């Protein structure tokens, strides 16, 4: 992996490349996805069948997963994984239960008002298929929705060529009491959830990451439904004070790199010596991995070790990158307080990213690609909305009457003014 | 205004039309807006100048509002409006201060984790121009951002033909300590905020309603920045138990109708007699309004009085319509607890919508067009994001170690597994 000094020309160039990385939402893909969505809106199940044949290479007359398929899946999942999933379920539930937003009521000049938080009624969750069919993604998507009080959860996932969905994913859906599961992926799946078809119910919100087609489709249906965020390539940024175990650092960089050739794994360290040691460790460790090729490409294109001059410089770079995962190794306690943009912070040498991927409790569906500047991790509030209310007595309205009239007149809204004056 | 019985064919048809009303985000407009955004991304200020000339009929070499323009605006705004705006500022601030989400920390099997809420750094707020240049919109947009702790607020508004922005809007911006104001509107304004130009800084979130070009542009830049919601036509739904003052009801329906020919004003009542009285009142009152023509078109196309058979039926219809504004007149106290979808509820005969438009405290930027099913009113949390963290000891990681290994192996992520085992 390349080692740069932070102030060097190459270091600056690399950082600029990472910070300005945009999801390619351009031209052709946009129109292609728009066409798929329009077709699904118009031709419903017929269009879904067509695109499933085209993209997933399987013709399905009926997309919905049946009870016997869930039974079969449950019989095939190994006991130790079932146990692990149940433990994860418990911890994820505990964390997200604490995240429920509470409403309030306030009295302002004898007018009562407040905010209430209510569950969104129907949620559609997208679980990627193929090699990325992770049972942990089902848990991370469905549990916050259940905790929020969503009435109906519809899950979709792309089918394999044989028309099946992974047993682990189906078992996860059953474990989380997902109401219905459909074997539909891609933009056609997002369209089916957003507009409804003969077989798929229209939902109010769609969550969960997917490929570029899924992301683009989520963006285009936004407004007809709500969505959680737009997902891009995933990344880790590690900050080290230079006194850390290089083996731990290398293993965490690789755990990110093995996800995807587009994944980004970056170390910021205060020590060139540590940087070099980590680089050596990477060379050894990567050879032992089944996903060696993916790791090498990812580290070459989007990975780097950057030797910084100060803690302050590191914090500044971290806030600019706004990484999905941020590990902080060493330093005094105050450093994490300076981090303003990150999906999830992992503090200390015994908090590797993998701890957060499965079982610690917090969600692993996090804002990627710099969007932690403004998006939040998936959470309970993703599946809730706020509603305001106002309740005034005659005295309360009288207190504010004059000022309302001034505003309304100035804004040329005479019916507004009369709706107040007419009451006195 | 048409009076229907809820179960009649015409009543059902009208309700279906309202519930299925979609913002027209189709074909040509999408491509037109995409072209404007691409141009702004590529040619920056040059493109903004071109489109401002084209759409706002004014050529501006410099878009930024200058100190002397603020001074001039302040000197022109009448004292009584200044006083009303200051009072509104105070009440809106008090309400939104209560809305700040609080983080938490939890200990799960010796692993500490939690969520923190942090302000988004830079916000862009859109204030419509022309006839809809309302100072109240500035307050409703900017105050929650300030309360949230946003560091820099950039406001944009379309210029008039003479290159100015309304004095009241500029005074509002100064009152709210908005950092910079630019005279740019439409899709080109949204593009400038999302991508940045030579003169306009790139922001992290864009809020505030606008016309169809603005809405479409917000949708297309979503992901490069966050946005608050997609706004459509505005609406009021009034529920009456049949024992209310028909004059109040008529005046509140008109206060909605005068906004826009596309606005929707609907009364659900338990009494045909009341319905007829309201209809009579409307006929008289509408003639006295300067915006009579707009009101008539709005009431004819998107307005109705619907006589329902029961309170339960009304609640069901209200939850389906998911109105921006919902007035509840009469009934027992429990009825508002059954409302699941609405932007803001106005309870009782002395809580007309106009009270919430300006000064009660709650925000007037609300989800419209049925999106209250899944969007929230603009609020403090619109300008904040959540960040998670995990902090484990060696013992904590050891407690969860085995289960992480099971997950990682099953998901084929061997580097994940090794990042755990390598620490023991």
- Given pLDDT bands bounded at 50, 70 and 90, which one contains residue A132? low
- Quick count: other Cβ atoms within 10 Å of Cβ B309? 11
Instruction: Determine contact: A284 vs chain B, CB below 8 A.
Output: no
Out of B85, B344, B415, the one facing A289 most closely (by C-beta) is B415
Would residue B251 count as lying in a domain?
Answer: yes
Residues B178 and B40 grouped into a single domain = yes
| Yes or no, beta carbons of A94 and B84 under 8 Å apart | no
Out of B134, B371, B386, the one facing A376 most closely (by C-beta) is B386
Residues A109 and A204 grouped into a single domain = yes
Average pLDDT score over residue span B280-284: 97
| Yes or no, beta carbons of B358 and A34 under 8 Å apart | no
B244 is in an annotated binding site: no
Which of the two residues, A28 and A249, has the higher pLDDT score?
Answer: A249
Interacting residues of B416 by C-beta distance below 8 A, sequence separation 6+: A255, A258, A354, A357, B404, B408
Would residue B379 count as lying in a domain?
Answer: no
Token code pair at residue B68: 């002397």
Please provide the average confidence, as pLDDT, over all residues in chain B. Answer: 95
Residues A88 and A124 grouped into a single domain = yes
Q: Which of A170, A201, A227 is the last residue of a domain?
A: A227
Residue A133 pLDDT: 74
A158: pLDDT strictly greater than 60? yes
| Yes or no, beta carbons of B345 and A388 under 8 Å apart | yes
Closest to B416 (Cα-Cα) out of A149, A258, A114: A258
Instruction: Determine contact: B30 vs chain A, CB below 8 A.
Output: yes
Residues B197 and B66 grouped into a single domain = yes
Q: From CA A345, how far away is CA A319, in angstroms rounded?
A: 12
Q: From CA B362, how far away is CA B405, in angstroms rounded?
A: 49
Q: From CA A289, how far away is CA A282, in angstroms rounded?
A: 11
Residues A275 and A405 grouped into a single domain = no
| Yes or no, beta carbons of A390 and B247 under 8 Å apart | no
Q: Which residue on chain B is closest to A402 by alpha carbon?
A: B84
B96 is in an annotated binding site: no
Chain B CB contacts of A295 under 8 Å are 415
Token code pair at residue A269: 């360290």
Q: Which of B96, B274, B325, B364 is catalytic?
A: B325
Q: Which of A96, A281, A325, A417 is catalytic?
A: A325
A52: pLDDT strictly greater than 90? yes
A139: pLDDT strictly greater than 80? yes
For chain A, percent of residues with pLDDT exceeding 90: 92
Q: Which of A324, A327, A353, A417 is catalytic?
A: A324
Residues B11 and B55 grouped into a single domain = no
For chain A, percent of residues with pLDDT exceeding 70: 98
Asked if A92 contacts B400 with a C-beta cutoff of 8 angstroms, the reply is no
Residue B402 pLDDT: 96
A25: pLDDT strictly greater than 80? no
Q: Which of A227, A260, A291 is the last residue of a domain?
A: A227
Asked if B368 contacts B18 with a C-beta cutoff of 8 angstroms, the reply is no
Residue A129 pLDDT: 83
- Given pLDDT bands bounded at 50, 70 and 90, which one contains residue B266? very high
Per DSSP, which regions of B127-263 are E strands? 152-156, 180-182, 205-207, 226-227, 235-240
**Contacts A–B by Cβ distance under 8 A:** 399
Residues B70 and B195 grouped into a single domain = yes
Q: Which residue on chain A is closest to B84 by alpha carbon?
A: A403
Distance from CA of B385 to the nearest CA of A (A): 5
Average pLDDT score over residue span A3-31: 85
Phi-psi region of A300 (alpha: psi -120 to 50; beta: other; left: phi over 0): alpha
Residue A12 pLDDT: 96
A126 is in an annotated binding site: yes
Average pLDDT score over residue span A230-255: 95
Asked if A203 contacts A124 with a C-beta cutoff of 8 angstroms, the reply is yes
Tens-digit pLDDT profile for residues A277-301: 999 999 999 999 999 999 999 999 9
Instruction: Determine contact: A415 vs chain B, CB below 8 A.
Output: yes
Chain B CB contacts of A222 under 8 Å are 219, 222, 230
Would residue B349 count as lying in a domain?
Answer: yes
Instruction: Determine contact: A212 vs chain B, CB below 8 A.
Output: no
Chain A CB contacts of B84 under 8 Å are 402-403, 406-407
Among A324, A385, A424, which would you mutate to test the B interface (most chain B Cβ atoms within 10 Å of its Cβ)?
A385
| Yes or no, beta carbons of A135 and B407 under 8 Å apart | yes
Residue B196 pLDDT: 97
- Quick count: other Cβ atoms within 10 Å of Cβ A95? 26
Average pLDDT score over residue span A111-131: 94
The pairing of strands B111-119 and B384-392 is antiparallel
- Given pLDDT bands bounded at 50, 70 and 90, which one contains residue B234? confident
Would residue A370 count as lying in a domain?
Answer: no
Residues A107 and A144 grouped into a single domain = yes
Tens-digit pLDDT profile for residues B112-151: 999 999 999 999 999 998 666 789 999 999 999 999 999 9
A24: pLDDT strictly greater than 60? no
A411 is in an annotated binding site: yes
| Yes or no, beta carbons of B407 and A220 under 8 Å apart | no
| Yes or no, beta carbons of A355 and B387 under 8 Å apart | no
Closest to A144 (Cα-Cα) out of A157, A129, A125: A125
Would residue A312 count as lying in a domain?
Answer: yes
Tens-digit pLDDT profile for residues B60-73: 999 999 999 999 99
Based on the structure, what is the number of domains in chain A? 3
Out of A355, A366, A394, the one facing B397 most closely (by C-beta) is A355
Closest to A351 (Cα-Cα) out of A268, A243, A263, A236: A236
Q: In what order do the strands lie in the sheet with A304-307?
A: A3-5, A304-307, A264-269, A235-240, A325-329, A344-347, B384-392, B111-119, B104-108
Average pLDDT score over residue span A88-96: 98
| Yes or no, beta carbons of A389 and B220 under 8 Å apart | no
Residues A163 and A42 grouped into a single domain = yes
Residue B357 pLDDT: 94
A131: pLDDT strictly greater than 90? no
For chain B, percent of residues with pLDDT exceeding 90: 92
Average pLDDT score over residue span A335-359: 96
Q: Which of A227, A259, A282 is the last residue of a domain?
A: A227
The DSSP element (H or E) to which A421 belongs, if any, is helix A414-421
Give the residue carrying structure tokens 């999801």: A23
Instruction: Determine contact: A230 vs chain B, CB below 8 A.
Output: yes
Residues A183 and A266 grouped into a single domain = no
The pairing of strands A384-392 and B344-347 is parallel
Q: From CA B329, how far away is CA B277, in angstroms rounded?
A: 16
- The CATH number given to whatever domain includes residue A12 is 3.40.50.1980
Secondary structure (3-state) at B244:
coil
B53: pLDDT strictly greater than 90? yes
- Given pLDDT bands bounded at 50, 70 and 90, which one contains residue A29? confident
Residue A296 pLDDT: 96
To the query of whether residue B364 is one of the catalytic residues in this protein, the response is: no
A357 is in an annotated binding site: yes
Q: How many CA atoms lie within 13 A of A98 on its CB side?
A: 20
Residue B206 pLDDT: 98
Out of A290, A359, A392, the one facing B414 most closely (by C-beta) is A290
Residue B290 pLDDT: 94
Give the residue carrying structure tokens 């219809």: B317
**Domain of A399?**
393-421
Would residue A173 count as lying in a domain?
Answer: yes
Out of A258, A360, A403, the one facing B111 most closely (by C-beta) is A360
To the query of whether residue A261 is one of the catalytic residues in this protein, the response is: no
Residue B24 pLDDT: 54
Average pLDDT score over residue span B204-231: 93
Tens-digit pLDDT profile for residues A360-408: 999 999 999 999 999 999 999 999 999 999 999 999 999 999 999 999 9
B26: pLDDT strictly greater than 70? no
Residues A33 and A169 grouped into a single domain = yes
Would residue A93 count as lying in a domain?
Answer: yes
Q: In what order do the strands lie in the sheet with B205-207?
A: B180-182, B152-156, B122-126, B205-207, B226-227
Secondary structure (3-state) at A399:
helix
Closest to B260 (Cα-Cα) out of B356, B148, B128, B155: B128
Would residue A383 count as lying in a domain?
Answer: no
Q: From CA A4, how far away is CA A2, in angstroms rounded?
A: 6
Residues B290 and B406 grouped into a single domain = no
Q: From CA B405, how far away is CA A84, in angstroms rounded?
A: 9
Out of A78, A101, A345, the one facing B387 most closely (by C-beta) is A345
Residue A94 pLDDT: 98
B259 is in an annotated binding site: yes
Per DSSP, which regions of B194-343 are E strands? 205-207, 226-227, 235-240, 264-269, 304-307, 325-329
Secondary structure (3-state) at A116:
strand
């Amino acid at each position: 992996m390349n080692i740069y000094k932070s102030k060097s020309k190459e270091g600056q160039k690399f950082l600029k490349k990472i910070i300005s990385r945009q999801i390619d939402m351009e031209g052709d893909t946009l129109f292609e996805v728009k066409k798929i969505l329009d077709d699904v809106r118009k031709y419903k199940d017929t269009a879904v069948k067509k695109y499933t044949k085209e993209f997933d290479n399987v013709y399905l007359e009926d997309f919905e997963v049946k009870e016997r398929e869930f039974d079969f899946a449950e019989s095939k999942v190994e006991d130790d994984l079932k146990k692990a999933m149940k433990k994860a379920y418990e911890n994820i539930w505990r964390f997200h239960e604490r995240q429920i937003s509470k409403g309030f009521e306030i009295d302002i000049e004898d007018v009562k008002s407040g905010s209430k938080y209510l569950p969104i009624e129907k949620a559609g969750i997208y679980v990627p298929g193929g090699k990325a069919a992770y049972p942990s993604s089902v848990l991370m998507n469905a549990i916050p929705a259940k905790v929020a009080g969503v009435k109906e959860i519809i899950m979709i996932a792309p089918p394999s060529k044989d028309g099946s969905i992974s047993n682990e994913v189906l078992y996860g859906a059953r474990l989380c009491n997902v109401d219905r599961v459909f074997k539909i992926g891609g933009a056609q799946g997002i369209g089916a959830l957003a507009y409804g078809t003969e077989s798929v119910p229209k939902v109010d919100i769609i969550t969960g990451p997917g490929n570029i087609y899924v992301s683009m489709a989520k963006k285009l249906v936004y407004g007809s439904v709500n969505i959680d965020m737009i997902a891009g390539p995933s990344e880790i940024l590690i900050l080290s004070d230079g006194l850390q175990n290089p083996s731990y650092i290398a293993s965490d960089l690789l755990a990110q790199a093995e996800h995807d050739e587009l994944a980004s794994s970056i170390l910021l360290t205060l020590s060139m010596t540590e940087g070099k040691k980590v680089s050596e460790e990477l060379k050894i460790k990567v050879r032992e991995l089944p996903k060696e090729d993916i790791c090498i490409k990812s580290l070459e294109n989007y990975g780097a070790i950057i030797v910084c001059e100060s803690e302050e410089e590191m914090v500044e770079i971290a806030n600019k990158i706004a990484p999905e995962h941020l590990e902080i190794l060493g330093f005094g306690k105050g450093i994490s307080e300076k981090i303003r943009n990150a999906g999830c912070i992992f503090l200390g040498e015994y908090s590797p990213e993998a701890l957060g991927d499965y079982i610690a409790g917090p969600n692993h569906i996090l804002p990627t690609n710099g969007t932690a500047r403004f998006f939040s991790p998936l959470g309970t509030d993703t599946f809730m909305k706020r509603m305001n209310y106002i309740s005034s007595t005659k005295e309360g309205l009288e207190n504010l009457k004059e000022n309302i009239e001034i505003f309304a007149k100035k804004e040329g809204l005479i019916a507004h003014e009369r709706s107040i004056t007419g009451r006195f």
